[in-house]
Structure 1
């Protein structure tokens, strides 16, 4: 059976899907806020918005990343086109089910939406077992946390528990924990490569083992505590520690030297948002600052910024093109911190600023991912270029 080219590689269909859904879901949210659209789904619109950005947009980005990276880590055979098509179909079915949840039984919506991550994780397990390493196997644990968090949301929506908020926060923090691990791995490595390409004598990023361990362990513990619904004082204290550890790690990675290279600088910006967001969320749980603002630093800045950076870089690199961000994508990188600032202002200064900041942040997010889609669409939908042999 012949499949469209977007199913040839996991990064094609899932990075495309993440961009399309990031634009579409945010556009509906903005339209609802402005009174331009009705909500066809069963949950409250704000819960739908949070759920779909976490378990819709972000999990699509994770799917594309893991289906691409795990075979490279282990030497295992990449997932065949039929599997990529099936698992992409499961992800899409979840989005459709939640969209039409107002007309479907809640248990059916849950069953459909919860199917994607286990199928993806099962394939990743078969690939990881070829060369099992603890630092890679831990992603199965984090994917399990994401799935459990989504289950908590659906248990609430089916009337079994009252765990919607716990599940949404747990899912967000579990994905942030993956960023702490993956971002902490690729950001200094890609920075080192870029600096050496520019100057073989350049000072390189510094990683310190105690900080690496603390940054990863505290981020994962924060996620676990959020999923478990642990006391706010405990979770907040650990989250502040995770944010400080992330900031300490970033301090050694020579961020200032990357400012002229957007495809590298964007990784640093996403990791900086992770550090800031974890610390701000922890402080909010301790009674200092607005929680909703901190959650959006993590959602827009850490998850949105880092996924935009990684998806664009992987798409360009795996298509055989030079690792240079196209102009529209570089502009998209720069827009994400602006969206974070506006959404934070909306949370910190309610009243007129709420409407302005929320609408502005949503429109800027849409613009950033629309630029990403326009620039990278030809990469996802065309074969890898064939390099001419040297004369």
Structure 2
């Protein structure tokens, strides 16, 4: 009998996705409110980072770090058929994530080394857990996932090093390495789950043409992605990097076109995954446009950050929360509204970069972001905190 089956405590700590998804969504909304206050000149928190660096850090390492925690702790037991963490071990990992958020929030009062160690705790623990499970189960196929999460954790350390020099860490190599690791992770995991979920859904409807299976073309796309991201890390605004970004975006759109996305339009739980991957491809083009000087770099980068990462994680959180609590894999009107709100937030943020004088567009983007993530927390609160239905 698995540890999860023996667990008799609160449902909230029965599976990793429950606390991490709920707390991450709440933090995505709360951090946006704090960020808006910071832009207004109010010193809400005694942070050591400049406002822009704190904003970027708490999305990429705070929010995304928590979502990755929930994903890994939920997916790995399915990959390895080994017991899932529950109870006190899971609560301990949640405490590590909260410790990191608290340490960064008061980083202006602490030595930066202590803040960095506190902030790296969850990432290091997840890497150790994933490495143990891969070794025990001999699941070498998932080794790239471990390597990318380790890169993301290492980039967080570099971010703290960049910030300790007093410069804008959001422009440093640490953030670029972390963003590249996140984009590569979505390219890898998205390439697994999107065609698989689409294939399973179409098979139930007797579709005559399933999504294309992984082949040499996909391998070429991933190789091109790695090359483009390496150049992005080293020389983000150079002409060769911009041309590679253009090629990378086209390659990912070609890959996405083979997964039958249009056939999934009746089911928002599926088309949102295709849309998020499409934003990943467009993010390459946005970085190219920023490199050529056509749009502001911050606006272009939000296509990856808020668009690809934000929408993909929201899609995964909703699907996993429904599926792992025995509910139907169908997005109702409320969940669909969450997707549309976040997509609208991304469009508005990009437009704000094109029309820098139109502050109302920025306000619209922030409002839609709050609706998406606070809306998820409200709508999925009973799903994530209550026991699995007896009929499921």
* TM-score scaled by length of structure 1: 0.92
Give the one of 269, 278, 283 matched to 2:275. 269
Task: Name the structure 2 match of 1:180.
Answer: 187
Equivalent position SS for 2:137: coil
Q: How far 1:268 sits from its partner (Å)? A: 0.7
Equivalent position SS for 1:42: coil
Equivalent position SS for 1:260: coil
Contact 1:148 1:227 in 2 (8 A): no
Q: How far 1:260 sits from its partner (Å)? A: 1.5
| CA displacement 1:11-31 (0-9 Å, x = unmatched) | 111111111111111111123
Q: How far 1:218 sits from its partner (Å)? A: 3.0
Equivalent position SS for 1:324: coil
Task: Name the structure 1 match of 2:361.
Answer: 357
Task: Name the structure 1 match of 2:383.
Answer: 379
Task: Name the structure 2 match of 1:85.
Answer: 91
* TM-score scaled by length of structure 2: 0.92
Contact 2:80 2:137 in 1 (8 A): yes
Q: Is 1:72 aligned to 2:78, yes or no?
A: yes
Task: Name the structure 2 match of 1:170.
Answer: 177
Equivalent position SS for 2:109: coil
Q: How many residues align?
A: 385
Contact 2:16 2:69 in 1 (8 A): yes
Identify which range, 235-244 or 107-116, moves more after superposition: 235-244
Contact 2:16 2:90 in 1 (8 A): yes
Structure 1 unmatched ranges of 5 or more: none
Contact 1:239 1:279 in 2 (8 A): yes
Structure-2 change in CA distance of 1:227 and 1:142 (3 Å): farther
Q: Is 1:369 aligned to 2:373, yes or no?
A: yes
Give the one of 49, 53, 60 matched to 1:54. 60
Q: What is the CA–CA distance in structure 1 between the aligned matches of 2:234 and 2:16, rounded to whole Å?
A: 32
Task: Name the structure 1 match of 2:198.
Answer: 191
Structure 2 unmatched ranges of 5 or more: 1-6
Q: How far 1:41 sits from its partner (Å)? A: 1.1
Q: Is 1:122 aligned to 2:104, yes or no?
A: no
Task: Name the structure 1 match of 2:14.
Answer: 8
Structure-2 change in CA distance of 1:124 and 1:229 (3 Å): farther
Task: Name the structure 2 match of 1:154.
Answer: 160
Q: How does 1:297-336 map to 2 (within 5 A)?
A: 297-336=303-342
Q: What is the CA–CA distance in structure 1 between the aligned matches of 2:374 and 2:322, rounded to whole Å?
A: 17
Q: How far 1:71 sits from its partner (Å)? A: 1.4
Q: How does 1:152-301 map to 2 (within 5 A)?
A: 152-159=158-165, 164-165=170-171, 166-197=173-204, 199-207=205-213, 209-228=215-234, 232-301=238-307
| CA displacement 1:53-76 (0-9 Å, x = unmatched) | 000001111111111111111222
